[in-house]
Amino acid sequence: MFEFDSKMTKDDYIEFNKYHFENSKSVMKSFLLGRVMGPITFMLSIIAIGEIDNIIYMTVFFILSVVWFIYTPKYMWYTMKKRINKLIEENKEGDLFSGKHLIIDDLGIHHESEISSGTYNWSCVIKVCDIEKAIYIYVSSIQAVVIPKQFVIDQINVDELVKYCRSMATG
């Protein structure tokens, strides 16, 4: 059994969303589609205006295509981060960033804060991800219990926690 207190910061939340963005198959498919559709659109517009033989148009649209392809990841992350910050500002009253008391045992993951409490059974756990700054225990394809290592490193053995959670997860 592991028992500890944890608190997620705004940066932890943004980092989780970035991790999910970079590791979600469906997000990456739509991201790749958007990244490729820009250059295709540029080339089709050359054909549509009938300037396919004009080297100036071809050069300009080729440069636009390369710029689009290179800067799309940065732009996508920038807009996503902006939306995340807006959502955070709208949800100031929630307990997303309040301190939580967590108990992880054979029955599941029990969490309690000033506003709410609950339990995730191990049958809900899809996967456990151990990254540099946090542990993500996914309880659905888009939701995870985020455990920032900076708050728990002195309270528990992080490696043992990850090993235990992975052994208990059934997903």
Distance CA(113)–CA(122), nearest Å, equals 20
Beta bridge partners of 138: 127, 144
Could you give the domains of the chain? 2-8+98-168 (2.30.29), 13-90 (no CATH)
What is the structure's pLDDT at 93? 64
Amino acid, res. 151: F
Residue 171 is predicted with a pLDDT of 56
pLDDT digits (tens, 9 = 90+) for 24-45: 888 888 888 888 888 888 778 7
Pairing of strands 108-112, 100-105: antiparallel
Helix 10-23 vs helix 55-90: crossing angle, to nearest 10: 140
Q: What is the pLDDT of residues 107-116, one digit of tens each?
A: 999 999 888 8
pLDDT of residue 44: 83
Q: What residues have CB less than 8 Å from 24, skipping those under 6 apart?
A: 141
Which residues of the chain have a pLDDT value below 50? none
